Structure 1
Amino acid sequence: MSPKATLLPGLILFFLISISTPSSFAADELTVYEALEEYDFPVGILPKGALSYKLDSSTGKFSVYLNSTCTFSIDSYKLKYKSTIKGVIKTDKISSLSGIQVKVLFLWLSITTVTRDDDELKFSVGIGSANFPVSNFYESPTCGCGFDCVNGKRKIKNLVSAL
């Protein structure tokens, strides 16, 4: 067999792999939280414990994987993260977002866009939006108890101080 004949199958395989695999951050290069920071977002827009993620850096399409659905309350907001969160990310903007909902009155509304403008984050639900300081998102909440946790479980309020 000629050298060209033995080299050809390897080149074809290399070509097929390179065009079928999107460019992405390898999981061992950056955590999903570090990847968020690369796009100018604080880590706290995701709860603690994301298992893995995929990111096509050429298009910005991403998927983040949690071990299960995650709910918690922060102040007067109840949030729900599905086990898979998808969207498109670029510096200071996440769009086409799916997998995150906020309870407003009695309705669960999907957060579809998150935009950063200096020190504010704007969360859009399609029909409306709300702005919050970026500083509110420096820490990631914990599934089940948000920021009201002790050892990963909701704090039980001291009954004496409540009286």
Structure 2
Amino acid sequence: MIQLFLEDGCVVEAGGYRVGYDVELSDAVALRRVMGIEGVRVRVLFAWVLVTAVEVGDGEVTVSLGPLKKSFPAVGFKSSPRCIAGAATPATTDS
């Protein structure tokens, strides 16, 4: 398991969604797959949903939100998004 501690949480825009991460992130990394992710959430409609896994293959990045999955073109992940100004609040909030 990999753990990463950051100075602050962050919210970014990615693939048309707001993605938030906490100060502490952890996951298990395998070839083309990150599983057991903790500390990363995606805003869907009015709620933050936990990201549980990310998988790469066939030119797509597939994000698992519990039992649900959503795929995006991998080309959209070539650069890292920056925090939205003033939105570096914990991703666990529902605002």
CA contact (8 A) 2:41 2:50 kept: yes
- Residue in 2 that maps onto 1:45: none
Of 60, 74, 90, which residue of structure 2 is paired with 1:134?
Answer: 74
Mapped partners of 1:116, 1:140: distance in 2: 16
| Structure 2 contact 13–81 (Cα < 8 Å) conserved | no
Identify unmatched segments of 5+ residues in structure 2: 87-95
Deviations 1:47-95 (A, max 9, x none): xxxxxxxxxxxxxx10122210101223531111111110100111110
Structure 1 match to 2:7? 67
TM-score in terms of structure 1 length? 0.49
Structure with higher strand content: 2
Which of the pair is proportionally richer in helix?
1
Q: Runs ≥4 in structure 1, deviation > 6 angstroms?
A: none
- CA radius of gyration, larger in: 1
Distance 1:88 1:143 in 2: 24
Q: Secondary structure at the match of 2:81?
A: coil
Match of 2:27 among 83, 87, 100: 87
Instruction: Tell me, yes or no, if structure 1 residue 125 matches structure 2 residue 65.
Output: yes
TM-score by length of 2: 0.82
Find the counterpart in structure 1 of residue 42 from structure 2.
Answer: 102
CA distance in 2, matches of 1:142, 1:135: 17
Unaligned runs of 5+ in 1: 1-60, 146-153, 155-163
Which shifted more, 75-84 or 114-123? Answer: 75-84
- Pick closer, same or farther for the CA change 1:75–1:124 going to 2, 3 Å: closer
**Identity of matched residues, %:** 26
